[in-house]
Amino acid sequence: MTASDDRNGSLPQGAGEMAARIRNHDWAATPVGPIEAWPEAIKTAVDLMLDSTFPVSLHCGPDYVQIYNDAYVPLIGDRHPIALGGRTLETFRELHEVLKPLFERVRAGEAVHQEAQLFRYAKSGPVEDTWFTMSHQPVRDGGRVIAILSVGVEVTRQVRAEERLKLVISELNHRVKNNLAIVQAMAGQTFRGATDPFAASEDFLDRLVALARANDALTEERSASIDLEAVANQALAAHVGQRKRLDFDGPRVELRAPVALALSMALHELATNAMKYGAWSNGHGKVSLAWRLQPDGEAPPRLHLTWRERDGPPVRPPERRGFGSRLIERALAAQLGGRARLAFEPEGIVCEIDAPIPVQGPGV
């Protein structure tokens, strides 16, 4: 017996599930032929593949008959073990349009590297997006390419993390621009035509604090949305002494960050006005904040929110609209894409908001 005969009889080398499966597979029934007749380059590639701790697969001949190692098994899920000895393009039919041109390039002698390449295929359930960083090398025998050796690692988690980071950065940039625009508008509206510079400065500082608190609430949530009641609590935190004179009534509603910021500023203006002139300026006035969601066919449901004051001093419409009124009736309405109405009724100020709100939670 020659050394070659001894080697053929023990192919492939190594232990493990796949080494045993490869040894016991009926390769004579496949296009690659019996294992003893494999070219030396294929035998060497198989041994190297089985020794690797990385997912490695070998695609042999023009039919791309597949051989793979133990680390590759989790990547193909329910296709194992039937994928062993099968034609790769038939085993992964949903990847045919991706794999065929790739394999043709390698069969032509080109080594191909793929960085975070998207593959849409099913492992053990529905089709899902999965990303791999892979290297595909031609295996040659006498200068002729007879197989493709593919080594890769799944990088789906890294890709998802990078996507989330990009979203966070994009959201941060958007919020910074929004905040700068809000500060600019607050400064202009607060100081333009002010007769008492000291009082105007106090008002401006109060509004900056309210804006900072609104941003704190959004940052603490660490998400692109925040619960409406949490927005209200944060906006009214400076008036915690009036909590017993404030009633909330409404379901859980998730607001997008820009909407939450605009609503928070509006609630701050309403609460400040209530402390100075409205229901909270005496010892027994009360405020109710109620909201509800109303379905609107296939469109996003509509949010109906009402701030209502009662039992405060008699209310008279102002001679001119201040920053708070303009913020609510113009800026808030524009941000929500809906309507905002501020009514100076004799028994107390009423603010009504009606807008479409893409939401997550009960009542949708």
Highest mean pLDDT among 60-64, 191-195, 252-256: 60-64
Neighbours of 270 (CB within 10 A): 23
**Kind of pairing between the strands at 127-141 and 144-154:** antiparallel
String of DSSP letters for 272-312: HHHHHTSGGGSSS-EEEEEEEEEEETTEEEEEEEEEEEESS
Q: Name which residue leads in pLDDT, 327 or 74.
A: 74
pLDDT digits (tens, 9 = 90+) for 188-209: 666 777 788 888 788 778 777 7
- Place 171 in a pLDDT band, splitting at 50, 70 and 90: low
Residue 9 has pLDDT above 60, yes or no: no
Q: Name which residue leads in pLDDT, 203 or 34.
A: 34
Neighbours of 176 (CB within 10 A): 11
How far is 13 from 23, CA to CA, in rounded Å? Answer: 9
> Same domain, yes or no, for 120 and 185?
no
> Same domain, yes or no, for 112 and 205?
no
> Same domain, yes or no, for 126 and 171?
no
pLDDT at 238: 64
pLDDT, mean over the chain: 84
What CATH code is carried by the domain that includes residue 61?
A: 3.30.450.20
Task: Give the pLDDT mean for 317-325.
Answer: 72
pLDDT at 235: 78
10 Å CB burial of residue 264 (0-12, 13-18, 19+) is buried
How far is 226 from 277, CA to CA, in rounded Å? Answer: 30
10 Å CB burial of residue 262 (0-12, 13-18, 19+) is buried
How far is 31 from 11, CA to CA, in rounded Å? Answer: 18
- Place 8 in a pLDDT band, splitting at 50, 70 and 90: very low
Residue 362 has pLDDT above 50, yes or no: no
Nearest of 207, 212, 215 to residue 175 by alpha carbon? 215
> Same domain, yes or no, for 258 and 332?
yes
pLDDT digits (tens, 9 = 90+) for 70-119: 999 999 999 999 999 999 999 999 999 999 999 999 999 999 999 999 99
> Same domain, yes or no, for 173 and 103?
no
Q: Which residues pair with 218 in a beta bridge?
A: none
Percent over 90 (pLDDT), the chain = 50
pLDDT at 233: 85
Nearest of 100, 5, 92 to residue 43 by alpha carbon? 5
**Residue 33 is part of which domain span?**
3-154
Side-chain half-sphere of 350: how many Cα atoms within 13 Å?
9
pLDDT at 268: 79
Task: Give the pLDDT mean for 21-32.
Answer: 96
Task: Give the pLDDT mean for 111-137.
Answer: 95
Q: What token pair was written down for 37? A: 């007749």
Residue 57 has pLDDT above 80, yes or no: yes
Side-chain half-sphere of 42: how many Cα atoms within 13 Å?
24
- pTM (2 decimals)? 0.56
pLDDT digits (tens, 9 = 90+) for 264-281: 878 878 887 888 888 988
Query: Of 108, 135, 154, which marks where a domain is finished?
Result: 154
What CATH code is carried by the domain that includes residue 327?
A: 3.30.565.10
How far are the Cα atoms of 64, 80, 100, 179, 243 from residue 336, in angstroms, in the given order?
A: 56, 52, 49, 16, 27
> To which H or E segment does residue 207 belong?
helix 197-221
> Same domain, yes or no, for 121 and 192?
no
Query: Of 154, 186, 218, which marks where a domain is finished?
Result: 154
Query: Of 90, 125, 154, which marks where a domain is finished?
Result: 154
Q: Name which residue leads in pLDDT, 22 or 357.
A: 22
Helix (H, G, I), strand (E, B) or coil at 268: helix
Residue 143 has pLDDT above 80, yes or no: yes
